[in-house]
Structure 1
Amino acid sequence: MKIARNLFAVYALAVGAHAQILSQPFEIWPPGPGQVLIPQQPDLELATMLSQVDPKRIEAIITKLVSFGTRHTLSSQTDPVRGIGAARDWIAAQMQSFAAASNGAMTVDVPSYVQQPSSRIPNATVISNIVATLTGTTEPNRVYVVSGHYDSRVTNVLNGVDDAPGADDDASGVAISMELARIMATHRPAATIMFAVVAGEEQGLFGSNFMATTLKQQGVDVQGMLDNDIVGASKGDEGTSNPFDIRMFVSGIPSSNTAAQNNALESIGGENDSPAHQLGRFVAEVSQNFVTQMNVRTIYRPDRFLRGGDQESFLSQGFPAVRFTEPHENFAHQHQDVRVASGTQFGDLIDFVDFDFNARVARVNGAAVWSLAQAPGTPKNLIIDTSILTNNSTLRWDADPNPEIAGYEVVWRESDLPQWNRVIPVGLITSTTLKLSKDNVQMGVRAVGKNGFKSPAAFPRPG
């Protein structure tokens, strides 16, 4: 209770200071209808959860995963102490222990399938994911996923024998899924959160593709996926260090779009307003605050050059997804045999992991996924009326049966700005006409919950 009271005091001071700043006269830009959009701040429950993210527990998880020697997809699945099978069983047992405190709200599954031979899988191989599912109280079919991959590799992608510690790539991401599952198991989100740990990433995104494809086939409404891959080190290979920055890679036009959908998006200048971009804007809004102490650097591309990750599997199924990666990678510590050459230490060793940094990235994820799950879902089938020439703008969207919705807001920005920065409350309706020209700005609609949480914005299609 003392921690909670202290957090509340800090929160009150921060909100008070924010309000005092906003009360001062200043020029509002851009001019136009509505108010300045004030980023959503964590409530007391969320702030308390984020304060429980423990760097020592992050360290313990990564240390244990490294102890399995290798977690290569082709390593042993039956050895009790070495290989991917031992790692799988330990992760599943840990997740089960977290679920035990949930009173049945959290369940743990180890969905598996046999991957047939491919360029990086010489023999038929079982791919197993571990998924802890915290079922939503009001909208269980609306789902958000936090994920990391537990397989590792060395220089030769087919080498499943030699030590592959995988401390940063990607025990650091696994630690985030596991630590958030532990903390959130005793809480009750409105929508469902899946804390995923997937396999086969290094061999071809096999585990995440299996998960995303299965969710699509089951008709699950996945409205956001957060991939954490290489999120444990704040120092790069040139001595650079940004311990309070995290990169978030955000894909543009969805790869799942049809040509007609792309034409419609391009016809209204919506190339920078894909569902993934709206998810990224939301994450940036809710995850940069006094609790996370982090700056989220949004990068508008699917991933780094020559690299990829599990977010791609979800994007290919039409689900919004983003990828987190540390600000300065050290490539001597990725996909390398453990060795010393010319005085340089190669290999993904735990010595190079910054556990405090890893914990702050976990808080970024926690702020984002809890805010997503507590808010109403993103409005669906949003249309901007383009049937007549007018300087006004009419927006229409589907009614949402969720009884916890208090109303809706139109958000807008100048078309060359990255973030929504103006907001117009419009009430509990499903259409509105604004004295704001659709020719000049970008507009979206977000839902507002009775609890104060607000959804990511939907971007309209012309109609």
Structure 2
Amino acid sequence: MRLPLVLATALTASSLLLAAPTQAAEAAAPSTDQPLLRTLAAEVDAKALESTIRSLVGFGTRHTLSETKSETRGIGAARRWTQKRFEAISKDCGGCLIIETPSDVVTGRRVPNPTEVVNVLAIQKGTSDPDRVILIAGHIDSRVTDVMDFTSDAPGANDDASGVAAVIEAARVLSKHRFPATLVFAVLSGEEQGLLGGKILANHARAKGWKIEADLNNDIIGNSRGQSGVMNNTQVRVFSEGTKAVETPEQANSRRYNGGEVDSPSRNLARYLDGLADRYLNNFDVVMVYRTDRYGRGGDQVPLLEAGYPAVRVTEAAENYDRQHQNLRTENGKAYGDVIEGVDFAYLSQVTRLNVVAMASLASAPPPPSGVKIEGAVSPDTKVSWAATPRAAGHRVWWRVTTDPQWRLNRWVAGPATNATLKDVVIDDFFFGVSAISPDGWESPTVFPGAAGSFESPPPVAATPPVK
């Protein structure tokens, strides 16, 4: 493939001027291949995923406004079943999971009467950096055509028992191992009534002072045959916001002038997942979608973004809308409704593997670098600098042509150094970033310079505001 002229020129100049030091430095760089990730991917069990979905479908409806006292039907029974499932997993790992059930009493447009909305969280504390949090989420509530109908059967097999199954299976697999950062397995309620569970989770995180590095929101991840009949069991979509929801006017002005529209922490998190899929999953690819969510639609990652946390939405590649938000029925020979027959468990296993691999990799790596800056106006060279990163053996400085979706070029900077000068790499022509690598080769996501790309979490709040 012929390289763009600007890239070819930069490669030629850089290779001539940096060949000797780069080769020497690369020899000392830790290998970033991680056999553990292949082992973890192999431990995901399609039968366990199916068992979870069958149990959740068996509660008839899991509508947020449905029955809470029954042990066999409704949202209350489903939540309690989920909590017991987490407790069983925790027992198997010697009590490694802490179960929390943050809640709020909510009223609103889709909740006409005061209703307690309860999330179920299983928390696996990190061994050395417990304030850093890697989070996976799915929503347990379901619905039919009328969002206010809380009595009709609403199996919600794919939307979103599939996501809940991935969360529980990730907890089962990952709880057998220990990681520097904290893992949170979140089963949320109230998504269909206005992203209520996501809001409760965001408030809980702020109150706890969690430094959320990644929220992987899994919503509708188990179907492989689209409404048009197209089959796609080799791809999954990862949606990510382009500019931060919490961007200030001053930050927006800087970003509009200097770039960063496609380099939010969420966008670089999506790139990270794409790279992991390429290296550790067989015949499975991440399709990055440059949107916060599907057109005109939303999910529980949105309240996390609005609170200032990096978050992505993971969703199947080929949706079947006849199986979403539909009353169970057959019309003119066509079946409607979100039933278990619409779930492809082999495909769901692949999506779950992606989540498991991503959580383990993120939790094992050093935190994403902070204080990333670039300098080089009216200069043939670019200087990149950053703050020292805990547990890092060194850093990679990355750069790419501004129209390239992926980071392409890099230079390894070993040891405690916190800056690098890229000779004959003109700042005007590229985007830049920095990742941190541990002594045993675990690599963080790449961080774009300035506020546009920073992974830093918002400060904690003194009290949790009510959800409205």
- In the superposition, the TM-score normalised over structure 1's length comes to 0.90
Unaligned segments of structure 2, at least 5 residues: 1-6, 16-21, 453-468
CA shift digits 1:19-49 (9 cap, x unpaired): xxxxxxxx989725478999x9762222112
Show the counterpart of 2:460.
Answer: none
Show the counterpart of 2:406.
Answer: 419
* SS of the residue 1:324 aligns to: strand
Contact 1:378 1:457 in 2 (8 A): yes
Structure 2 counterpart of 1:451, from 422, 437, 440: 440
**1:228 Cα deviation (Å)?**
0.5
Matched, 1:90 2:81: yes
Letter aligned with residue 58 of structure 1: L
Show the counterpart of 1:62.
Answer: 53
Show the counterpart of 2:361.
Answer: 371
- 1:78 & 1:134 partners in 2: Cα distance? 29
- 2:298 & 2:235 partners in 1: Cα distance? 20
Are the structure 2 counterparts of residues 318 and 110 from structure 1 closer, same or farther at C-alpha, using a change threshold of 3 Å? same
Show the counterpart of 1:20.
Answer: none
Show the counterpart of 2:19.
Answer: none
Letter aligned with residue 421 of structure 2: T
* SS of the residue 2:215 aligns to: strand
Structure 2 counterpart of 1:149, from 134, 139, 143: 139
Show the counterpart of 1:78.
Answer: 69
Contact 1:128 1:207 in 2 (8 A): yes
- 1:113 & 1:281 partners in 2: Cα distance? 34
CA shift digits 1:292-321 (9 cap, x unpaired): 531100010111112110111111111111
Show the counterpart of 1:224.
Answer: 214
- 1:41 & 1:206 partners in 2: Cα distance? 39
Are the structure 2 counterparts of residues 78 and 273 from structure 1 closer, same or farther at C-alpha, using a change threshold of 3 Å? same
Show the counterpart of 2:344.
Answer: 354
Work out which structure has the larger RCO, using CA pairs closer than 8 Å and 6 or more positions apart in sequence: 2
**1:399 Cα deviation (Å)?**
1.9
**1:208 Cα deviation (Å)?**
1.1
Letter aligned with residue 197 of structure 1: V
Matched, 1:441 2:421: no
* Pairs aligned (count): 432
Letter aligned with residue 348 of structure 1: D
Show the counterpart of 1:405.
Answer: 392
Contact 1:397 1:430 in 2 (8 A): yes
Letter aligned with residue 108 of structure 1: I
Show the counterpart of 1:266.
Answer: 256
* Cα RMSD after superposing both structures: 2.1
**1:385 Cα deviation (Å)?**
2.5
Structure 1 counterpart of 2:34, from 21, 30, 43: 43
Unaligned segments of structure 1, at least 5 residues: 1-26
- 1:291 & 1:324 partners in 2: Cα distance? 16
Matches within 5 A, 1:279-294: 279-294=269-284
Contact 1:293 1:360 in 2 (8 A): no
Are the structure 2 counterparts of residues 290 and 276 from structure 1 closer, same or farther at C-alpha, using a change threshold of 3 Å? closer
Contact 2:46 2:346 in 1 (8 A): yes
Point out 4+ residue stretches in structure 1 off by more than 6 angstroms: 27-30, 34-38
Letter aligned with residue 189 of structure 1: F
Show the counterpart of 2:192.
Answer: 202
Matches within 5 A, 1:129-148: 129-148=119-138
Matches within 5 A, 1:4-43: 31=11, 33=14, 43=34
- 2:442 & 2:277 partners in 1: Cα distance? 13
Contact 2:397 2:413 in 1 (8 A): yes
* SS of the residue 1:252 aligns to: coil
* SS of the residue 1:176 aligns to: helix
- 1:349 & 1:30 partners in 2: Cα distance? 54
Identity %: 39
Are the structure 2 counterparts of residues 29 and 446 from structure 1 closer, same or farther at C-alpha, using a change threshold of 3 Å? farther
Contact 1:385 1:462 in 2 (8 A): no
- 1:113 & 1:190 partners in 2: Cα distance? 31
